[in-house]
Amino acid sequence: MSARKYFGTDGVRGIVGGDRINAEFALRLGYAAGRVLARGAVSAGRPTVVIGKDTRISGYMLESALEAGLSAAGVDVMLAGPIPTPAVAYLTRAWRLAAGIVISASHNPHYDNGIKFFSAAGTKLPDETEAAIEALLDEPLGCADSAGLGRARRISDAAGRYIEFCKSTFPSELDLQGLKIVVDAANGAAYHIAPHVFRELGAEVSVIGCEPDGFNINEKVGATHPETLVAAVAAQGADLGVALDGDADRLQMVDATGRLFNGDELLYAIVRDRARTQPIQGVVGTLMTNFGFERRMRELGIPFERAKVGDRYVLEVLRQRGWLYGGESSGHLLCLDRHTTGDGIVAALQVLAAMRHAGASLADLVADLSMYAQKMVNVPLAPGLDWQTHAGLKEASDAVRASLGERGRVLIRASGTEPKLRLMVEADDEALAEEGVRRLVAVKLA
């Protein structure tokens, strides 16, 4: 497939006021998407789309522009207001809609924003549908006649419906009574949802990062700044902390000792819990998943496969293999037996269910997972340099791999966003990892 002009791996993203994230582009995007959706409508009535957003101030502008474009194309619109990205996926499927649209730039700062789509099944739009939308984006803006225009209505119970869905993914025979949990919603889309989910399941809940003002999303709070939650858990004497990112599809957790658990450890807790009652067909990680996780899966006889970095790629491999569980170290976790997409709240509930089933702490659940030391250095990459065929780098990496044997691994990959080469060595001994990285960095890339 030819390179996309507008769509990236996660919809359309950019700086607010730039060439893509502005009112005029959102209007044209809504109209183009509406035409494609109307063309593929399977029912006699108009296709209907739900739009959700996070708490960025630019969401108002983009929401209005998308609504106008979709209406001009003859598509009805349901406006759900601020709700998590996975909530839009759920509502699209639950309401049998033609598509869902999310206005969010996830873990980025407020001056960025993005627009991405979900299919009627609550999954990413097929590539051919995105390509069809792109093909219409540069055509002149049109408008249906008055009788053919779409209607728009604001939905008042979207948050409540999603809260009930999240609770339904937690075993009905369990509760969270006796747990004190600090919830950090990153001043993002779950600020009015996540606290209720845990509270209604019986936990004593206190909150941080639940006072959005349009500008403070992800600002020193949330899954990308977990140190704030670590301090809050300690200060409040809580049992656990749950940190989400701005659109609530990413998770980090903290225990009473201040220990931070990343996505690899949380995924391990979930997989081990599921393995109590069912065979695990396989688990998908990424190139960055800790080697200790891979090795532990091998010891347990569970197939493990690595995808490219990005939860989209994890999901692709899961679907190809017919597996249910996967995730990233950063905290994007997928439990396809509970949801069609990554969901921070749902993932946290699966970890909590694992703790309840075992009657154990989170640290105890992952005690037999030995995480390897990861050492990574970014080095400048000259334009046009083919690092994959660079003789010196190959020689050094082969030597490091030989020295590691079964004790670790080497990962070399180019950054997707900047002209840099990422050199990483993992080992069961920190000094061994550091020595491996030093040998790679010593190579002159010219």
> Which of 178, 167, 172, 130 minimizes the C-alpha distance to 5?
130
421 φ/ψ angles, rounded to the nearest 5 degrees: -110, 130
Q: Which residue has the tokens 């250095």?
A: 377
Q: Which residue has the tokens 């044209």?
A: 28
- Measured distance CA(192)–CA(112) in Å, rounded: 22
Is 247 assigned a ligand-binding role in the annotation? yes
3-state secondary structure of 391: helix
Contacts of 75 (CB under 8 A, 6+ apart): 33, 34, 37, 38, 46, 47, 48, 49, 98, 150
Distances (CA, A) of 380 to 18, 20, 388, 413: 27, 29, 15, 12
Q: How far apart are CA 119 and CA 40, in angstroms?
A: 12
Tell me which of 106, 119, 329, 397 is the catalytic residue: 106
**Does the annotation count 106 as an active-site position?**
yes
Q: If we measure between CA atoms, which residue out of 154, 165, 86 comes closest to residue 124?
A: 86
Rounded (to 5) percent helix, strand, coil in the chain? 35, 20, 40
Cα–Cα distances in Å, from 77 out to 42, 149, 229? 17, 11, 37
Could you list the residues known to form a binding site for Mg(2+), using ranges.
106, 245, 247, 249
Residues designated as active site: 106
Annotated binding site: 106, 245, 247, 249
